[in-house]
Amino acid sequence: MSEELFYYFNTNLECEDLLKKEMELFFPELRLSYSRPCFLTFKGSAHFKDRIFKRQWFFARRAGVSLERTNGHEIKGKVLSIVEQRKFRCIHVWNANLTQYKSTDLPELSPASADSEMILDVIKVRTDEFWIGEHRHYAHISPFAGGDPQIILPETSSSRAYLKWAEVFAHYPKLSQVKATIVELGAAPGGGSQFLVEQNFKVIAIDPGLMKYEGARYLQLSVQDVNRKTIENPQSVVGMAVDMNLSPLQSAKETLRVQSYYPELQWVIINLKMTKVELIDALKKIEKQFRDSLFPNISFLSLPSHKREVMLIAYRD
């Protein structure tokens, strides 16, 4: 009988039921165990460890394997003892739930040696409770502690969409390599457009609602009214940013239709609203649709700014 491990997952509060459903679909052998707000653990065979590490989770910002649970008084000594026995690339320290526990409550820890791709995680889950664990870093895994680049929403921003695009670009800086035109679907009231303009893109913002941000070219249209004649000089469009109040399948359908109008398009980022747990079944279908539309590189990303959402990033070589 193989060794059993505790696998931990840091998720957003609104996504806990979605993560449980994701686990049920893809790792039914794992059993729900200890949990706190935004922090769920599942117990199961060590056989799943590599798959847990490698998977791009839809609704977890970090996944790892528990090494020890401790308190604030013993945390530094426990971490030092683990680091003395094993080498880690670095130490990530964060709160599982920032709405309950402030980052200033966390212990100060020195980074470990960079001799391995293993990351040591120190996670505060309650007032005086810490979990120590590890995860392996891969190119598609967030390099930030707890998957959070810690971007603050500017007071001048009109919506949370600013954070969504900013967090995606922090994870995928290659999206900003070519400065040209971005088409943003579902742009109103303009928070996302503001971020894109700040990145020196020209932005064509499309939405039937009213825009508060005035730094982008605004077309007051529903996505269904967008056609080949909507955008002048379609060859200049290198990316699409999409955040529409549609079902995931409908949002993907309209996005794929519109993206076909732009011959030089390099990437699409699309925020998918997951109002029901049953919608998880649609994500693999949407991934296939984008691959069939000649987007060979597909990633999913759970963001700190997300509610019941997941981001799909599709780009061409």
- Cβ burial of 96 (10 Å; 0-12, 13-18, 19+) is buried
Architecture (CATH level 2) of domain 4-147: 2-Layer Sandwich (3.30)
pLDDT tens per residue, range 77-122: 999 999 999 889 899 999 999 878 877 888 888 887 767 789 999 9
CATH number of 161-315: 3.40.50.150
What is the residue extent of each domain of the chain?
4-147, 161-315
pLDDT in tens, 148-200: 999 999 999 999 999 999 999 999 999 998 889 999 999 999 999 999 999 99
286 Cα distance to chain centroid: 17
Q: Enumerate residues 6+ apart whose C-beta is below 8 A from 293.
A: 256, 259, 260
Dihedral (Cα; 202, 287, 153, 138), 10-degree rounding: -110
Note the pTM of the prediction, 2 decimals.
Answer: 0.93
